[in-house]
């Protein structure tokens, strides 16, 4: 779907959040990632501890990117129902995430989801 305001669609913005999350995680957890690499990756992640924290920080990055890709496809197809559904679920997830970790980039996900709901309403008009 073309945007007159030259801003990326919500799906692309969400993909940027996923990428930024990966970059931040790779920076913050670089020592833990090195330990995982030295341990041979397979079965290198314990249930608790610094390596587990690094893993669970980085895992959502790929999921957020994938959700962004699917949202982008729905926007380009003009599928208001899919945009609304993805944005509602994203909003619920972002609210929980920002409550649990208020000093985070999850605020961006929250605003992208709100923007997606507004876009879905516009698509239906």
pLDDT tens for 2-61 read 455 667 899 999 999 999 999 999 999 999 999 988 888 788 889 999 999 999 999 989
**Residue tagged 């073309």 (tokens):** 2
Contact 117, 87 (CB under 8 A): yes
What pLDDT does residue 1 have? 46
pTM for the complete prediction?
0.83
What 8-state DSSP symbol labels residue 47? S
What 8-state DSSP symbol labels residue 29? T
Burial code (b: 16+ CB inside 10 Å, e: under 16) for 67-92 equals bbeebbebbeeebbebbbebbeebbe
């Amino acid at each position: 779907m073309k945007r007159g305001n030259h801003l990326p669609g919500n799906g692309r913005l969400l993909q940027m959040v996923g990428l930024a999350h990966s970059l931040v995680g790779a920076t913050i957890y670089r020592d833990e990632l090195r330990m995982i690499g030295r341990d041979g990756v397979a079965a290198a992640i314990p249930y608790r501890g610094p390596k587990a924290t690094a893993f669970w920080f980085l895992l959502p990055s790929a999921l957020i990117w994938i959700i962004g890709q699917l949202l982008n496809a729905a926007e380009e197809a003009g599928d208001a129902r899919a945009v609304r559904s993805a944005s509602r679920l994203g909003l619920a997830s972002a609210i929980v995430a920002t409550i649990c970790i208020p000093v985070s980039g999850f605020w961006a996900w929250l605003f992208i989801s709100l923007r997606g709901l507004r876009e879905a309403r516009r698509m239906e008009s």
